Amino acid sequence: MKNILILFSLILLGLTGYGQSSQAISLDDCYKLARQNYPLIKQHDLIEKTKDYSIQNAAKGYYPQVNFNGQGTYQSAVTTIEVNGLPPAFSHLSFPTLPLEQFNLHGEVDQTIYDGGVIKQQKQSDIANADVQQQNVEVQLYALKDRINQIYFGALLIDDQLKQNDLTQKDIQSSIDKMQAGVTNGTALQSSVDELQAELLQQQQNKIALQASRKAYIDMLGVFINQPLNENTALQIPVSVAISDSIKRPELSFYDLQKKNDDVQEKILNSTNRPKFSFFAQGGYALPGLNGFDVNPAFYYITGFRLSWNLGGYYTQNNQKQILEIDKQNIDVQKETFLFNTNVTLKQQSSDIVKLRAMIDKDNEIITKRTEVKDVSKAQMENGAITIHEYIGELDAEDQARQSLNLHEIQLLLAEKSYQNTTGN
């Protein structure tokens, strides 16, 4: 029974190991997951909620506005009417004298009928501001791609170096086996085997360093995408795609939305300077009331329409519009500068792509020659025509040539992806 349990555990471990080894992730997956996991993405929802609240607040400008006011005063004098000198027939007339202490408590309801379009334009301003903020977040999130590229392609380069390391170790081990047979037969020296074994140990040491570097890259990538990656995670090599010169970066929309926001601000400026028309109703308790000859406190009400038009805004309207126009011109300059710098970067990246493609062609030619030389050296070493040290030199030269090819291939893929990200395609 115990043996069965052990066997079952081994099977489970094998399945787990297989699941880990089969785990794979692509560069596009990393882009998507990094965007979802990056804390800045939360600003999208916050900006949207703020916009909704702001629009609701603006819309409440159409609600009746209620105000309560109170005032108590003591006056040094009040209006009086002298009745001296009246004809006898009117001598019985008298006019009350208002008290020096007076008060007025009242409430007023004001209902906007026409506000010149201020509330409508304020809503548009809230939407425009939110759009600018949302696009600014997109600009910052887009920069994530470059960071992911550096990590992803750094790990891919190490993957190629590890593959080349394994091939070199197999080549050295094959030579050790053959040389060991020669030692057994008395046709080779043990020192030759020792030198090959030392070179094998050096390659094994290099592999340990490469694996540690790969783990560091994988750990960083795992943090960005919030996924449990490990040493068994396979990174898919991106497919080389045709590159386009058209620029579709999120910064361009950001500049356009900023100018649109200035257009809305200009409309608000026009609306603010228009006349306002409203209905109002006021009711209160005061001394005196509406009857100025009544010395007793009384309730009262007033209702009607109110027109207001502040012409002071016209004094500065033209200057305010000029400020907005200057801001638009400033945005155009920023956009032009961005396009200029982007095109300069694209020129450099395009030159790098052409250079790397040419270098890869030469790498393949160099590898062909180095492999031929190494194979000849290996045969010469086995026949005693050259030393082990000379053979290892040729082996290292071939290894360096292959590593150079791997480096340039990964650099080419990175350059193409960087070009693609620079254009926004």
pLDDT in tens, 169-221: 988 888 888 888 878 887 677 887 888 899 899 999 999 999 999 999 999 99
At residue 83, the pLDDT reads 64
> In the chain, what percentage of residues exceed pLDDT 90?
56
Q: The tokens of 179 are what?
A: 């040389």
Q: What is the pLDDT confidence band of residue 133, given thresholds at 50, 70 and 90?
A: very high
Higher pLDDT, 237 or 8: 237
Query: What single DSSP character describes residue 80?
Result: -
- 25 closest CA partner among 288, 248, 315, 228: 228
Whole-angstrom distance, CA of residue 155 vs CA of residue 159: 6
Task: Give 63-80 pLDDT, tens digit per residue.
Answer: 999 999 999 999 888 877
Sketch out the chain's domains with CATH numbers.
24-63+115-274+309-423 (1.20.1600.10)
Cα angle for residues 302, 306, 310 (degrees, 5° grid): 145
Whole-angstrom distance, CA of residue 299 vs CA of residue 346: 79
C-alpha of 309 from chain center? 45
Q: Which long-range contacts (CB under 8 A, 24 or more apart) does 183-191 make?
A: 187/384, 188/384
At residue 245, the pLDDT reads 84
Q: The tokens of 370 are what?
A: 């180095």
Q: What is the mean pLDDT of residues 264-274?
A: 92
